[in-house]
Amino acid sequence: MFFTFGSLFFDCGIIFDYITHEKYKIMKKLIYFIALGFFFLSADLAFAQSTKEEVKKEQEAIKAEKKAAKAEKKAAKKELADVKKMEKQARNLEKAEKKLAKLEQKASKTDAKRARQQAKYDKAKRRGKASEAQLLKMEVDLKKLELDLVNLNNDIVEQRRTVEKLRY
């Protein structure tokens, strides 16, 4: 808009060049001055507009960089959480396997102890040297060991399920 006004005033100034009368010389200078002002004003406005566009582009680039950095940070955070989750699952699996091994070991020891107690009970019963109270006590001990063995087997089954869940 200002550029067209400036060119209009310059065109008027060129027309006034053909007029050599003294009273128009001041008007001619005034028109050139106004046209020059419009040119500078339009140049300043164009520069301001281009600067504003550059600043806007820079701000958009900064926003895009921030968005990308935020997305990258979020992805890294998620990856770290996944790694921690997998590490925790591996630790839990290791603990569960150790517990299963201990339970199986304890069950085998209990089974061996029960077998020894059963042999003692059978031997004492065959020979008939043990009193009725001693035989009853041995029977109670055998029942306790059998109950412990059943409980251990239940715990082993439960622990195996836990291990299978943690593996997958």
Domain that holds residue 37: 2-167
Which residue did the predictor score with more confidence, 6 or 69?
A: 69
pLDDT in tens, 22-33: 666 666 666 666
The better pLDDT of the pair 54, 32 is held by 54
Q: Please say whether the beta carbons of 152 and 103 come within 8 A.
A: yes
Residue 130: pLDDT over 80 = yes
- Provide the mean pLDDT of the chain: 83
Rounded CA separation 22/137 (Å): 144
* Distance in angstroms (rounded) separating the CA atoms of residues 135 and 141: 10
Residues 101-129 have pLDDT tens digits of 999 999 999 999 999 999 999 999 898 88
Least reliable range by pLDDT among 52-66, 100-114, 142-156? 52-66
Sign of CA dihedral 55, 56, 57, 62: positive
Sign of CA pseudo-dihedral 114, 120, 122, 124: negative
Q: How confident is the model at residue 53 (pLDDT cuts 50, 70, 90)?
A: confident
Token reading at 57: 């582009």
Q: What is the mean pLDDT of residues 75-82?
A: 96
Question: Structurally, how many domains does the chain consist of?
Answer: 1
User: Are 118 and 142 in contact, with CB atoms under 8 Å apart?
Assistant: yes
Instruction: State the Cα angle at 73 between 68 and 75, rounded to 5°.
Output: 95
Grouping H, G, I as helix, E, B as strand and the rest as coil, residue 17 is helix
Task: Give the DSSP letter of residue 168.
Answer: -
Q: What is the pLDDT of residue 106?
A: 96
pLDDT of residue 97: 95
Greatest alpha-carbon span in the chain:
157
